[in-house]
């Protein structure tokens, strides 16, 4: 089992690159309420993008729109000219509360491998390799639903990664985890980042943003107030809202 | 109370003696009801799941219909199937009236709405939780249906058991389409009706006890399977 490296043939079939992602004048409204308003940005392959902002800023919404789970009210989301449906097949998303299938830990991985049309005889070895990477191998036969919160999120992450996405969206992946579990998830994210998967994630945990971000999108009340490299954002925030947020004063 | 005591000993006697007629009746009851439930499961699971997940015109109507059909009176179903299968009916040439097959068809019609309605509820709840994740994974419409049915399989068993309870307990439909013919279409419930009519109350009650034992046994078996599978697969 152990002799197989994870993702051995990541680049054997290279689908067209879907990055950069260019979002132009994106709006999303429900019942006259502008939940997102006039968002424009461009992000390239490589840097980890962290969407920061207080609760209700529209962070999760932005991720869902980019991933194609929701349709924008106005504006465009362009994936290097790729059609939205094609582009989504090159993306994966991990939700705040992991949605695991009511099956064994291993079966959660084989399920997505099967979706990708990977032959049955290869699925098992690939599943075991992926679980080993995530430190979940001893739990392979356990029902996924009885795993701890941290293990469940690691499994959700491993499953998303098994899709070999070019872009991985994460919506508050560690919001309900304890520090140790958070650390384990971040370690896994680090590994995924180093395999050239673009990470776009939301968080309201400033510490996590400092640890993980290469660039920051700062949202407030549905507007994009800042888009800057992480070092610049954390040392010299431009807007007064971002300054307040970094000082822990801006809550809503 | 004497009736109950007499019934108890009659039942015991029938069971210990393995009365040949009794064995045949019980076997036919089981065969008819299990076939009907098997068929209804094959029809009801996809139907219920489709109504739960897919959006199509008239969906609300189908939903109401399914729920209403759960309360279908067995005699009415029996009558409709009787008319369809009778010599003069549209399916009369098949010669199915007064055969066990006719009884399976009638019970299947009774049970399918129960299984479908139960499936719809279970799958709706599950879909609420899974929908976003499955869309994110790019799972197609058919596979979504299958995934939800498979992941809801332990809950769905309860609906199937409810269906079996209904099938094995009803008398109106099988009486009309089966005719309660000795050694051909006589099942436990029709025998109970017959013996009660003849005034043979202890025997009727004894058969009632045996029927309840039967339903209990089927449910217990299903529960054991469910619990074991749940422990292993989550």
Residue B194 C-alpha from the chain's centroid: 22
Nearest to A54 by CA among A225, A231, A173: A225
Q: Do B132 and A163 touch (CB under 8 A)?
A: no
pLDDT per residue over A131-149, tens digit each?
998 999 999 999 999 999 9
Q: Which residues of A184-196 are buried (b: 16+ CB within 10 A; e: fewer)?
A: bbeebbeebbeee
Residue A237 falls within a domain, yes or no?
yes
CATH code, domain with A57: 3.40.50.300
Q: How confident is the model at residue B231 (pLDDT cuts 50, 70, 90)?
A: confident
Q: How confident is the model at residue B7 (pLDDT cuts 50, 70, 90)?
A: confident
Residue A116 falls within a domain, yes or no?
no
Question: Lowest-confidence range among A99-113, B13-27, B33-47, B129-143?
Answer: B13-27
Whether the per-residue pLDDT at B1 is higher than 70: the answer is no
Is residue B27 within 8 angstroms of chain A, CB to CB? no
Residue A146 falls within a domain, yes or no?
no
Whether the per-residue pLDDT at B177 is higher than 90: the answer is yes
Predicted local confidence at residue A15, as pLDDT:
66
pLDDT per residue over B38-92, tens digit each?
999 999 999 999 999 998 898 899 999 999 999 999 999 999 999 999 999 999 9
- Domain carrying residue A75: 21-100+165-246
- Which of A95, A111, A145 has its CB closest to that of B132? A95
Q: Do A92 and B136 touch (CB under 8 A)?
A: yes
Chain B residue nearest residue A109, CA to CA: B137
Chain A residue nearest residue B155, CA to CA: A102
Helix (H) or strand (E) holding A51: strand A49-52
The sign of the dihedral angle between the CA atoms of A108, A46, A57, A81 is negative
Q: What is the pTM of this model?
A: 0.87
Q: Do A104 and B233 touch (CB under 8 A)?
A: yes
Contacts with B133 from chain A: Cβ below 8 Å: 95, 99
Contacts with A86 from chain B: Cβ below 8 Å: none
Q: How many domains does chain A have?
A: 1
Question: Which of A18, A101, A144, A171 best tests the B interface by mutation, with the highest count of B CBs <10 A?
Answer: A101
- Which of B129, B132, B147 has its CB closest to that of A69? B132
| pLDDT tens by residue, chain A, 252 residues | 333 444 444 444 556 788 899 999 999 999 889 999 999 999 999 999 999 998 889 999 999 999 999 999 999 999 987 887 888 889 999 999 999 999 999 999 999 999 988 999 999 999 999 999 899 999 999 999 999 999 999 999 999 999 999 999 999 999 889 999 999 999 999 999 999 899 999 998 899 999 999 999 999 999 999 999 999 999 999 999 999 999 888 665
CA distance B86 to chain A (A): 47
Residue A228 falls within a domain, yes or no?
yes
Alpha-helical (H) ranges within A13-137 are 59-67, 84-88, 105-115, 120-133
Is residue A89 within 8 angstroms of chain B, CB to CB? yes
CATH placement of domain B2-233:
1.10.3720.10
Is residue B132 within 8 angstroms of chain A, CB to CB? yes
Is residue B136 within 8 angstroms of chain A, CB to CB? yes
Predicted local confidence at residue B234, as pLDDT:
60
CA distance B54 to chain A (A): 17
Residue A149 falls within a domain, yes or no?
no
Q: How confident is the model at residue B195 (pLDDT cuts 50, 70, 90)?
A: very high
Domain coordinates in residue numbering, chain B? 2-233
Is residue A143 within 8 angstroms of chain B, CB to CB? yes
Q: What is the mean pLDDT of residues B133-152?
A: 94
Predicted local confidence at residue A7, as pLDDT:
45
Residue A8 falls within a domain, yes or no?
no
Residue A4 falls within a domain, yes or no?
no
Residue A93 falls within a domain, yes or no?
yes
A20: cis peptide before it, omega within 30°? Answer: yes
């Amino acid at each position: 089992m152990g002799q197989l490296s994870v993702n051995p043939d990541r680049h054997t079939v290279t689908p067209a690159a879907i990055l950069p992602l260019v979002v132009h004048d994106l709006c999303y409204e429900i019942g006259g309420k502008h939940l997102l308003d006039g968002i424009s940005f461009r992000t390239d392959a490589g840097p980890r993008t962290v969407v920061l902002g207080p609760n209700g800023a529209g962070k999760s919404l932005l991720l869902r729109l980019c991933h194609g789970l929701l349709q924008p009210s106005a504006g465009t989301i362009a994936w290097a000219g790729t059609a939205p449906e094609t582009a989504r097949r090159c993306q994966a998303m991990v939700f705040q509360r992991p949605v695991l299938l009511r099956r064994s830990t291993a079966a959660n991985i084989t399920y997505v491998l099967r979706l990708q049309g990977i032959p049955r005889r290869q699925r098992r070895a690939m599943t075991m390799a992926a679980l080993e990477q995530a430190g979940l191998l001893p739990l392979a036969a356990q029902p996924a639903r009885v795993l701890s919160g941290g293990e469940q999120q690691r499994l959700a992450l491993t499953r998303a990664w098994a899709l070999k996405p070019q872009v991985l969206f994460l919506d508050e992946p560690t919001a309900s985890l304890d520090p140790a579990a958070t650390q384990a998830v971040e370690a896994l994210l680090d590994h995924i980042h180093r395999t050239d998967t673009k990470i776009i994630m939301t968080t309201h945990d400033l510490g996590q943003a400092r640890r993980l971000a290469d660039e920051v999108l700062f949202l407030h009340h549905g507007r994009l107030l800042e888009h800057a490299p992480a070092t610049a954002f954390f040392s010299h925030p431009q807007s007064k809202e971002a300054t307040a947020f970094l000082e822990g004063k801006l809550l809503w | 109370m004497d009736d109950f005591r007499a019934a108890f000993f009659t039942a015991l006697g029938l069971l210990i003696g393995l009365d040949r007629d009794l064995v045949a009746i019980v076997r036919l009851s089981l065969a008819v009801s299990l076939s009907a439930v098997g068929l209804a499961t094959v029809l009801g699971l996809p139907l219920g799941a489709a109504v739960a997940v897919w959006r199509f015109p008239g969906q609300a109507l189908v939903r109401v219909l399914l729920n209403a059909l759960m309360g279908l009176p067995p005699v009415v179903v029996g009558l409709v199937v009787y008319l369809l299968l009778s010599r003069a009916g549209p399916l009369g040439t098949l010669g199915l009236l007064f055969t066990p097959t006719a009884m399976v068809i009638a019970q299947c019609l009774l049970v399918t709405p129960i299984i479908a309605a139960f499936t719809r509820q279970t799958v709706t709840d599950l879909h609420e939780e899974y929908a976003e994740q499955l869309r994110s994974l790019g799972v197609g419409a058919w596979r979504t249906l299958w995934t939800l049915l498979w992941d809801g399989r332990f809950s769905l068993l309860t609906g199937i058991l409810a269906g079996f309870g209904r099938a094995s307990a009803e008398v109106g439909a099988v009486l009309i389409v089966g005719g309660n013919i000795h050694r051909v279409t006589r099942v436990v419930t029709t025998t109970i009706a017959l013996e009660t009519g003849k005034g043979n109350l202890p025997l009727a009650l004894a058969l009632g006890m045996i029927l309840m034992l039967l339903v209990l046994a089927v449910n217990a078996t299903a529960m054991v399977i469910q619990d074991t599978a749940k422990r292993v697969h989550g």
